[in-house]
Structure 1
């Protein structure tokens, strides 16, 4: 972590105190004010205020049988109750590894193949989108579906998802398009965020370096204040 901070000129950091061995955390060039640190969201969740924005990161339960997506639904609900609802009046970004597909991306999946190959995503032969649907119902927006227009000074929903699948990389060596391929890592923003900041781009970073760094590709968001 110290090497990464030095390489990117970060001056502050925080690692979750109530997490298990799968730590979640923040690194920043600005001061991090920790708001919440909870253990009920899978591997843990933290919220911090940085430069006037509430940032939330979490890591939901990964490997499981077909009850896994139900477990993640309960974990999402704990984050919504403990953090998202509490800071709904502020610009907020939620990001992390949810280990769950989104209903917004349903068109990209072959449900039969997905459920034959990965019960982790499915219940009773169908993809269980409930964990992500609960985030959408809580007023969060998948920023891969938004784009900012300087001419109109507002964000507009897109008719397509600008982000590719985030899992998995060549570390797991899946066949492209196999049931293992899915978008399960996200950056969500609430309506207050979309009112004050424009989404320049949100994308999954796929390159030779990220292909070997983890079993998931990182998701990147660039945004600008709306003046």
Structure 2
């Protein structure tokens, strides 16, 4: 396993990183807990040219954010490189040999693998952002609701040929303890109503009461017919 050289700001994020480094699997993390930071930390570890790591099916806007975050972490020149349809086949074939971290769509990856533009033995691993013995496959999602029920999760794991699922809900003990250490200070501001606003509020309440009274009359009339 590659030695960990990245320290994440939150304890649970570091524990998740250590966990997925130790074993391939599918990480399902509650939304808003910093999945992108974990992915970037993992990419930083494998950003050296002696690795060839593929970030699969990442949206274009997310690619930009990941590149910027990696740059802040010191991963520049070349950093995360993006393969798209505008890049020629010969150029892609030559660049793959230089190693590093690449963001590729599944369609381009399949074509390049079938045409041997990217030798499969050079691939260190694949990160699927929502198996070969010497490589790794690690998948990520911060949309737990997409895997509600047994079938969606089972199907995804089978497609990726993964045996391990890492579940990190918001109520996970480590996450809860970490977030409770940094409680948000809430300041409640009360703005008194003006005379005009009071008149409007009273008029709205009268309208609501009138509507409810009409509904009651309708309900009583309908009940009497039964």
| Structure with the larger helix share | 2
TM-score normalised by the chain length of structure 2? 0.28
RCO (CA 8 Å, sep 6+): is it higher in 1 or 2? Answer: 2
| Structure with the larger strand share | 1
**Which of 1 and 2 has greater Rg?**
2
